[in-house]
């Protein structure tokens, strides 16, 4: 007599919470730091070294919320690609551990929190906010048609600096746009390094990436991006009358980045690429410290 197969049990609440935490990369906040740091640069520089604690809290929470929302949108858009890339096959949506409906519910909650935070900011910052959401929505799809999708990531991350400047000074000065451009160059550099992990799989699947586009000259491209970033930050510091402490710190950052570029002349393993990517959180913190010291 054949035995009947019991129906699959629905996901348990504890498992759903675990998968939701994995979905938003709760244990890995490097991305949140990389999103937050340009906003902190702007808050410190625009306030001449005395940023509002209230604004720091709002932008820190906003970075956590929007980065979490961003990775959900990215995973929703990339499920079919993620299943074909070894590094991303285990993501909750790609593996089937989590339903899209759960992801969409969490996304809606996160965006509601982000909208709530806007209520504590001035009118100019509120007017700028739809652009941030638009960039977050568009970015995941750019890897289908644009050879350097990292540029759009830079736009999205850099827009936080523009909003932070507007929240502090209630106007947008040239320095704000220099920080915006510097962040774009920075994201182009570190996210190209990140993309080196998946270069073989991306070629096979058909995903576009700066790590593929620049080919054997990827180290040259990263070096140029970082050189321009340092130059833009230096000009912003000069416009805001920062002292020599800022330029000394910036020189140290440039020296460290040049070592990374030198190392990238040779092929790096996925582990090395991830390690070098994570080092950029420290780079951003050093720049932040230099800006603050430069205001004294």
Tell me if 157 is assigned to some domain. yes
Q: What is the pLDDT of residue 13?
A: 53
Query: Residue 14: is its pLDDT beyond 90?
Result: no
Tell me if 21 is assigned to some domain. no
- Per-residue model confidence as pLDDT tens digits over 98-133: 999 999 999 999 999 999 999 999 999 999 999 999
Query: Residue 170: is its pLDDT beyond 50?
Result: yes
CATH number at residue 196: 1.10.357.140
Query: Residue 11: is its pLDDT beyond 80?
Result: no
- Per-residue model confidence as pLDDT tens digits over 250-268: 999 999 999 999 999 999 9
Tell me if 135 is assigned to some domain. yes
Query: Residue 293: is its pLDDT beyond 60?
Result: yes
Tell me if 12 is assigned to some domain. no
Label residue 206 exposed, middle or buried (CB < 10 Å: 0-12, 13-18, 19+): exposed
Tell me if 16 is assigned to some domain. no
- Per-residue model confidence as pLDDT tens digits over 47-90: 999 999 999 999 999 999 999 999 999 999 999 889 998 889 99
Whole-number Å distance between alpha carbons of 89 and 293: 44
Q: What is the pLDDT of residue 12?
A: 52
Whole-number Å distance between alpha carbons of 188 and 197: 15
Tell me if 65 is assigned to some domain. yes
Name the band, by pLDDT with cuts 50, 70 and 90, for residue 1. Answer: very low
Pair 210, 148: CB distance under 8 Å: yes
Say what the pTM is: 0.93
Q: What is the pLDDT of residue 4?
A: 41
Pair 56, 40: CB distance under 8 Å: yes
What domain count does the chain have? 1
* Percent of the chain scoring above 70 in pLDDT: 95
Whole-number Å distance between alpha carbons of 127 and 39: 17
- Per-residue model confidence as pLDDT tens digits over 66-78: 999 999 999 999 9
Residue in 280, 264, 281, 278 with CA at minimum distance from that of residue 196 = 264
Tell me if 136 is assigned to some domain. yes
Range of the domain at 214: 28-294
How confident is the prediction for the chain on average, in pLDDT? 94
Whole-number Å distance between alpha carbons of 178 and 235: 8
Q: What is the pLDDT of residue 80?
A: 87
Tell me if 188 is assigned to some domain. yes
Query: Residue 25: is its pLDDT beyond 80?
Result: yes
1 HSE (CA, 13 A, CB side): 1
- Per-residue model confidence as pLDDT tens digits over 132-161: 999 999 999 999 999 999 999 999 999 999
């Amino acid at each position: 007599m054949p035995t009947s197969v019991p129906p699959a049990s629905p996901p348990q609440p504890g498992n759903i919470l675990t998968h939701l935490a994995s979905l938003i990369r709760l244990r890995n906040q490097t991305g949140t730091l990389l999103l937050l740091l340009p906003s902190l640069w702007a808050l410190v520089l625009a306030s001449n070294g005395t940023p509002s604690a209230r604004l720091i809290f709002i932008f820190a929470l906003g970075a956590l919320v929007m980065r979490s929302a961003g990775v959900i949108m990215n995973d929703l858009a990339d499920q079919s690609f993620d299943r074909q890339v070894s590094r991303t096959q285990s993501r909750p949506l790609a593996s089937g551990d989590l339903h899209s409906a759960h992801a969409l519910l969490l996304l809606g909650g996160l965006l509601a929190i982000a909208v709530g935070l806007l209520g504590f900011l001035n009118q100019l910052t509120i007017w700028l906010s739809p652009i941030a959401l638009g960039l977050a929505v568009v970015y995941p799809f750019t890897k289908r048609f644009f050879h350097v999708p990292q540029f759009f990531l830079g736009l999205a991350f850099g827009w936080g600096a523009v909003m932070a400047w507007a929240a502090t000074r209630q106007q947008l000065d040239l320095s704000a746009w220099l920080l915006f451009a510097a962040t774009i160059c920075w994201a182009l550099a570190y996210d190209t390094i990140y993309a080196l992990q998946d270069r073989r799989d991306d070629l096979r699947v058909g995903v576009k990436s700066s790590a593929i586009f620049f080919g054997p000259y990827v180290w040259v491209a990263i070096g140029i991006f970082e050189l321009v970033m340092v130059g833009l930050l230096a000009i912003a510091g000069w416009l805001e009358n920062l002292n020599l402490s800022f330029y000394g710190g910036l020189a140290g950052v440039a020296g460290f980045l040049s070592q990374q570029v030198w190392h990238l002349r040779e092929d790096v393993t996925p582990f090395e690429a991830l390690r070098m990517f994570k080092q950029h959180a420290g780079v951003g913190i050093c720049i932040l410290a230099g800006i603050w010291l430069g205001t004294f």
